[in-house]
Amino acid sequence: MPTIIDGNALAATIRGEVAEKVADLVATHGITPGLNLLLVGEDPASTVYVRNKGKDCENVGIRSTIVRLPATATEDEVIACVQAWNADDSVHGILVQLPLPKHIDEHRVLRTIDPEKDVDGFHPVNAGKLMIGLDGFIPCTPYGVLEMLTRYNIETSGKHVVVVGRSNIVGKPLAMLLAQKRSPGNATVTICHTGTPDIAEHTRRADIIVSAVGMHGLITADHIRDGAVVIDVGINRITLADGTTKLVGDVDYAAVAPKASAITPVPGGVGPMTRAMLLQNTLTAAIRKARQ
């Protein structure tokens, strides 16, 4: 049977480590890390995500402030909010919950965030730093995957990693990170996407497969070779025969797990790690500020 990579347990460990370091920062510098979250509109999923992120902060001693603007808020109002937080020294991290209403230019808003407070790692400065191997902020999901690989002692150096999905927040940054000459990393990385005619042709040669697509059942037993490591980033809600719904990943877990050497479940895999890494990034932002 494969090693089940337990994202819940790992995230709890990371939260414990962050809480200790937050207490240390308060004791030594009198600084309480602060994360400000902006929610525009009333999308139910976004509302839950933001509330959970706020609760996560409180649990580790990070101060969190949630500001809600109506769906009718203008782009300038959103930008003014971000600019005020940029100028506020008690705010170490800024998170604008995506997606924003359609009339607002998401890229313009993200570009307004001070890169030193960009704990989601979506600002072009942080994307650029990631690309050339400088310390910035790594987007939380790729960061969580790296932590999983590190803490489960999964070697990436010299391995062939296939990342399925090329989004700016998961697939692309993760592929870049794993290709870099450091640990974890130093892998030969293939990126598959909607333009790839035969994904299985690539994934079958992979030592490590990361699927970040959002399509349940995309990765089947036929897509992997014996002993591969399978990281499932996908989150999909499916309706069962009895009408109830269930969260599943991209991977056909029951069929793939027996062939894998290690695998992440959904839920309880990458999801909790993403949440934990936001706390780590906020702490990092506060520590960097304290050292200035």
Active site residues: 53, 97, 120
Residues pairing with 40 in the sheet: 69
Does residue 271 belong to the site contacting ligand NAD (CB under 6 A)? Answer: yes
Nearer residue to ligand NAD within complex by CB, 53 or 166: 166
Number of residues that bind ligand NAD (CB under 6 A): 24
Interacting residue with ligand NAD among 11, 81, 270, 283 (CB under 6 A): 270
Query: Whole-number minimum distance, CB 126 to ligand NAD, in Å?
Result: 17
Query: Whole-number minimum distance, CB 229 to ligand NAD, in Å?
Result: 16
Nearer residue to ligand NAD within complex by CB, 72 or 150: 150
Tell me the residue type at 164: V
Nearer residue to ligand NAD within complex by CB, 73 or 189: 189
Candidates 95-103, 120-128, 200-208, 234-242; binding stretch for ligand NAD (CB under 6 A)? 234-242
Nearer residue to ligand NAD within complex by CB, 63 or 166: 166
Query: Whole-number minimum distance, CB 233 to ligand NAD, in Å?
Result: 4
Of 37, 53, 39, nearest to 100 (Cα)? Answer: 39
Query: Whole-number minimum distance, CB 214 to ligand NAD, in Å?
Result: 3
Does residue 276 belong to the site contacting ligand NAD (CB under 6 A)? Answer: no
Site string for ligand NAD, 147-186 (x = CB under 6 A): -----------------xxxx-xxx---------------
Does residue 215 belong to the site contacting ligand NAD (CB under 6 A)? Answer: yes
Interacting residue with ligand NAD among 28, 153, 194, 239 (CB under 6 A): 194
Interacting residue with ligand NAD among 11, 73, 212, 231 (CB under 6 A): 212
Does residue 234 belong to the site contacting ligand NAD (CB under 6 A)? Answer: yes
Nearer residue to ligand NAD within complex by CB, 34 or 234: 234
SS3 sequence of the chain: CCEECCHHHHHHHHHHHHHHHHHHHHHHHCCCCEEEEEEECCCHHHHHHHHHHHHHHHHHCCEEEEEEECCCCCHHHHHHHHHHHHCCCCCCEEEECCCCCCCCCHHHHHHHCCHHHCCCCCCHHHHHHHHHCCCCCCCHHHHHHHHHHHHCCCCCCCCEEEEECCCCCCHHHHHHHHHCCCCCCCCEEEEECCCCCCHHHHHCCCCEEEECCCCCCCECHHHCCCCCEEEECCCEEEECCCCCEEEECCECHHHHHHHCCEECCCCCCHHHHHHHHHHHHHHHHHHHHHHC
- Determine the distance from the C-alpha atom of residue 60 to the mean position of all C-alpha atoms in its chain, rounded to a whole number: 18
Nearer residue to ligand NAD within complex by CB, 70 or 99: 99
Tokens 């050497």 — which residue?
261
Of 153, 164, 149, nearest to 270 (Cα)? Answer: 149
Residues pairing with 208 in the sheet: 161, 229
Interacting residue with ligand NAD among 94, 100, 213, 248 (CB under 6 A): 213
Q: Which residues bind ligand NAD (CB under 6 A)?
A: 141, 164-167, 169-171, 192-194, 196, 199, 212-215, 233-236, 270-271, 274
